[in-house]
Structure 1
Amino acid sequence: MAAMETGSAAWPGRLPRGSTVSVVVATAIVVADMVGVGVFTSLGFQVKDIPSGFAILLLWTVGGIVALCGVFSYSELGAMFPRSSGEYNFLSRAFHPAFGFLAGWVSATVGFAAPVALAAMAFGEYGKSVIPGAPPLALAVGAVWLVSIVQLSGVRHSSTFQLVSTILKVVLIVAFLIAGFVVGTPQPVSFAPHISDIGYVSGAPFAIGLVFVMYSFSGWNAATYIIGEMHTPQQNLPRALLAGTLIVLVLYVALNAVFLHTTPIDKLAGQLDVARIAGSAIFGEIGGRIVGAMICIGLVSSISAMMWIGPRVMMTMGEDIPALRLFARKSSQGAPVYAIVFQLAVASLMLFTRSFEAVLDFIQFALLFCSFFTVLGVIKLRITRPDLPRPYRAWGYPVTPVVFLLVTLFMMYYLVVDRPLQSFLGVLIMVSGLLIYAVFRKRDGAATPSSGHSKSPGNSPGRE
């Protein structure tokens, strides 16, 4: 792909070298990255304050709509600047390379490694119900290393593994849904709107519940981290993000409907393992084991997605910054070997030290901060650079980006109020990224994303 220089009006037509990821696989990555343990654990805390079937389903629907608002904005940026690495690429383009490095630093170091470790530990815990007596830590480490070996084998094998594991995940969830509605004992819960629902929907618990629902929807932007490996990303990225998010929206609403349809609300209220409780209500004594197996298989696809897309951030940063050039090296099969091994090492360290839970607490603010400014970048570029080619334009602009910005701003406010120390530590991580960027610039005279001197010139962003 010919380099798009600053101010260029020409649109490159050639695909990046090594573009092997189809829109179906990219969609699978989005679905896999989104569907983790959140949807299987959130309902118990929501029904404590919102004991209404309609209000609960509306809560999850609103969360999906907000995620779609983010999808539209990220799709516009991804089609404009088709380079792997997500926010690192977008913020470098829309604002400044230092801002992009800040986002990339968070993602490349702990932003993906911590969720990988969390998903792996959840795999270990649920695995105990499938293999009684198995040590959770051993199962967790085994899952991460197995998936990493697949990722090291190259993009083609990664694509096959991701597609098969995600399809299996979706099939199992659909089978669980069918069993719930067909076999489960119906509970006296109504999903039709009632006058009393106005109080639930307009109350503070609904707004706070939306914060945690949005965490369950996080991952809708997963395909933006592998744009450079996609076929015709200008068309396929928006399709993958939209299709993946819509699939997950339907699954989330249906899962919560089944939980409420098959299990008394008083048994769900305040409980963390609502999926196991619902599984026992549907299948009897073996329900917990069935649900555990379903979640374990689903978590493997989630770990796979994060072990694929996370190292692409470090890889792209290595293309731009000489001090990180090692991480840009790829195998003959297209795998960024050193970047994958780095994320594997960090995730393994977090598993052995159990530090991933603390890390997740204080990176939430940083991740929201970067997403907020990425979507804000769409508005900025529409105003300051209306001449830039836009193969895809955000649907519903400016309403959809504004909706996403308002909800994200509320989530950041909630974190600052509810977890001030963790939010402050998140800010410190971002500041450390800026300091490291300054050191790299001074020591190496690094070719930043503004210079267009990437090792992959066809995908190198120039500062706008």
Structure 2
Amino acid sequence: MVKTDKQSTVPLKKVLGLVFGISIIVGSTIGAGIFRVPASIALLLPDKFLILSCWLITGLYILLCASSYAELTAMIPKAGGSFNYIKRAFGSYVGFAAGWFDFILNVGAPAFFCIVLGEYTVLLFPSLTGYSKEVGIGYLTVFTLLNLPGIRISSATQKVTSILKVIFLLVLVAGCFLAKPQLNPGTLIPSATVFNGTLIIAFFKAMQLILSTYDGWMAVSFFAEEDENPGKNIPRSYFIGAITVIILYLLINGAILYVLPLNAIAQSPLAASSAAAVAFGSWSSIGIDIIAIFVVISILNAYMLIPSRILLGLSREGYFIRQGAQLNKGGTPYFSLLLCYVITIVFILYNTFEQVFSLAAVMLTVVTAFSFASLLVLRKKEPDLPRPYKAWGYPYMTILALTVTLILFVGFAISDTRSFLIVAVLFILSYPFYRLLKRKNDI
């Protein structure tokens, strides 16, 4: 492990609990995707029941994944998340590669959220037209400064923004269910049929889109070391957080499907906005902008915290420079947080996060697959390791989660060969850097 100075050995503050665990999962999962994805799903599936079933089945898969992750996180509650389990199961180099994959797929997210926030803010305040990037950097700066003093303020911010997000979304749902449904104004979307296989293919494509809106369900793993009672709080956070997200997604989609006909949803880039127009009339535009801002603010705050925790964990293991492990008195990895702030500004100014996003799905399946595999390996390799929580239905459910993840990886590799090749090249090129750090830091 890397040799650290006195400042970098300041322990993380164990002040987080169940409410933060739930709020970080809800906050980092529910984002702008829920406003955009329903239109794409409506183009693929011809039936409202099928659409809701697809959302539910994908949610159940996430619950299946959460069970295995809960065992791993409660068993090894260290900052940085998945790479800790992968390193223990498969060795230092695989852990190194997984950790950097995890960082890359998370570090581009704040730039996207800041740009979205800038665009929605300009819609509310037209005088800012032409300055959306500057507004986005303003949001980034505010939330960096909020999170810099310490984890207590970060935790409070996440709780408040997540609660407000849920409240605003429930207001949208209630408004839709209380409104008079819009009549079908046009021709229905042609129905796919089971007999020619079109419906089955469409169902899996829909699941792939929906899965992207669930990204963030494992966020609590990055903060396990800061939890006051990880053995008890972590599993509860996973399950309550995942169930909360599943229920909200079903309610939001149910509300949209109730108030709008399928073809209207399919033709609307922002189906939630169209539903709000029916529910709230002339106030819908302003209302949906405000809801979107709070939805994205919550997820931005979460993703301001996550990459810095990954860098902290990597630095401790000697996988990054030692400054990345330095903490201030409030328990914030300030060097890592400020470095992520600079990277995000570059992404915002040059729109360089788009390629990172295209790589993220492939990288996510790699990291997740190795995480599930690490549970199987560690059960045999270290059977006596304390396990405050054990995955439900082990080993069958873990093997099922691993199998589904591998199928998704193959599907992404086929549909996005460019990103797959880039990830493969990055994996190969990472080895010389690993050897260099290994020699320098004696890991």
TM-score, structure 2 length as denominator? 0.91
Whether contact under 8 Å (1:361, 1:422) holds in the other structure is: yes
Unaligned runs of 5+ in 2: 1-10, 185-190
- Answering whether residue 28 of structure 2 is matched by residue 19 of structure 1, we say no
- Answering whether residue 232 of structure 2 is matched by residue 235 of structure 1, we say yes
- Answering whether residue 306 of structure 2 is matched by residue 309 of structure 1, we say yes
Pairing partner for 2:72 from 77, 82, 90: 77
Residue type at the aligned position of 1:159: S
Map of 2:334 onto structure 1: 337
- CA distance, structure 1, for counterparts of residue 58 and residue 198 of structure 2: 13
- CA distance, structure 2, for counterparts of residue 396 and residue 197 of structure 1: 35
Map of 1:452 onto structure 2: none
Cα gap change, 1:266 to 1:113, in 2 (>3 Å)? same
Residue type at the aligned position of 2:144: S
Whether contact under 8 Å (2:14, 2:228) holds in the other structure is: yes
Whether contact under 8 Å (2:48, 2:262) holds in the other structure is: no
Residue type at the aligned position of 2:383: P
- CA distance, structure 1, for counterparts of residue 216 and residue 332 of structure 2: 21
- CA distance, structure 1, for counterparts of residue 198 and residue 246 of structure 2: 19
- CA distance, structure 1, for counterparts of residue 368 and residue 319 of structure 2: 27
Whether contact under 8 Å (1:366, 1:430) holds in the other structure is: no
User: Shift of residue 185 of structure 1?
Assistant: 2.3
- Answering whether residue 176 of structure 2 is matched by residue 180 of structure 1, we say yes
Whether contact under 8 Å (1:150, 1:157) holds in the other structure is: yes
- CA distance, structure 1, for counterparts of residue 165 and residue 174 of structure 2: 14
Whether contact under 8 Å (2:175, 2:276) holds in the other structure is: no
Whether contact under 8 Å (1:277, 1:288) holds in the other structure is: no
**For residues 52-451 of structure 1, what are the structure 2 equivalents within 5 Å?**
52-108=47-103, 110-134=104-128, 135-185=131-181, 203-321=200-318, 324-446=321-443
Whether contact under 8 Å (2:179, 2:278) holds in the other structure is: no
Map of 1:29 onto structure 2: 24
- CA distance, structure 1, for counterparts of residue 431 and residue 58 of structure 2: 32
Cα gap change, 1:254 to 1:364, in 2 (>3 Å)? same
User: Shift of residue 426 of structure 1?
Assistant: 2.0
Map of 2:5 onto structure 1: none
User: Shift of residue 100 of structure 1?
Assistant: 1.3
User: Shift of residue 410 of structure 1?
Assistant: 2.2
Cα gap change, 1:323 to 1:79, in 2 (>3 Å)? closer
- Answering whether residue 35 of structure 2 is matched by residue 40 of structure 1, we say yes
User: Shift of residue 287 of structure 1?
Assistant: 1.0
- CA distance, structure 2, for counterparts of residue 274 and residue 375 of structure 1: 35
User: Shift of residue 71 of structure 1?
Assistant: 0.5
- CA distance, structure 1, for counterparts of residue 422 and residue 412 of structure 2: 12
Whether contact under 8 Å (2:30, 2:299) holds in the other structure is: yes
User: Shift of residue 118 of structure 1?
Assistant: 1.2
Cα gap change, 1:178 to 1:322, in 2 (>3 Å)? closer
Per-residue CA deviations over 1:59-83 (Å, capped at 9, x if unaligned) read 0101111111111111111111111
Whether contact under 8 Å (1:33, 1:222) holds in the other structure is: yes
Give the 3-state SS of the residue equivalent to 1:42 in structure 2.
helix
Which deviates more, 129-138 or 296-305? 129-138
Residue type at the aligned position of 2:69: Y
Give the 3-state SS of the residue equivalent to 2:432 in structure 1.
helix
Residue type at the aligned position of 1:364: A
Residue type at the aligned position of 1:230: D
User: Shift of residue 400 of structure 1?
Assistant: 2.3
Residue type at the aligned position of 2:231: Q
Map of 2:3 onto structure 1: none
Cα gap change, 1:402 to 1:346, in 2 (>3 Å)? same
Q: What's the RMSD between the two structures over aligned residues?
A: 2.1
Which deviates more, 227-236 or 403-412? 403-412
User: Shift of residue 131 of structure 1?
Assistant: 2.0
Map of 2:188 onto structure 1: none
User: Shift of residue 227 of structure 1?
Assistant: 0.5
Whether contact under 8 Å (1:124, 1:136) holds in the other structure is: yes
- CA distance, structure 1, for counterparts of residue 441 and residue 331 of structure 2: 27
Cα gap change, 1:51 to 1:288, in 2 (>3 Å)? farther
Residue type at the aligned position of 2:16: V
Per-residue CA deviations over 1:301-342 (Å, capped at 9, x if unaligned) read 101011112201111121221851101111111110000011
User: Shift of residue 215 of structure 1?
Assistant: 1.0
Whether contact under 8 Å (2:102, 2:363) holds in the other structure is: no
Residue type at the aligned position of 2:440: R
- CA distance, structure 1, for counterparts of residue 236 and residue 107 of structure 2: 27
Map of 1:459 onto structure 2: none
- CA distance, structure 1, for counterparts of residue 44 and residue 12 of structure 2: 52
- CA distance, structure 2, for counterparts of residue 186 and residue 384 of structure 1: 59
Whether contact under 8 Å (2:105, 2:359) holds in the other structure is: no
Per-residue CA deviations over 1:204-257 (Å, capped at 9, x if unaligned) read 010111111111111110000011100110111111111111000000011111
- CA distance, structure 1, for counterparts of residue 114 and residue 269 of structure 2: 18
Whether contact under 8 Å (1:79, 1:392) holds in the other structure is: yes
- CA distance, structure 1, for counterparts of residue 192 and residue 108 of structure 2: 41
Which deviates more, 167-176 or 115-124? 115-124
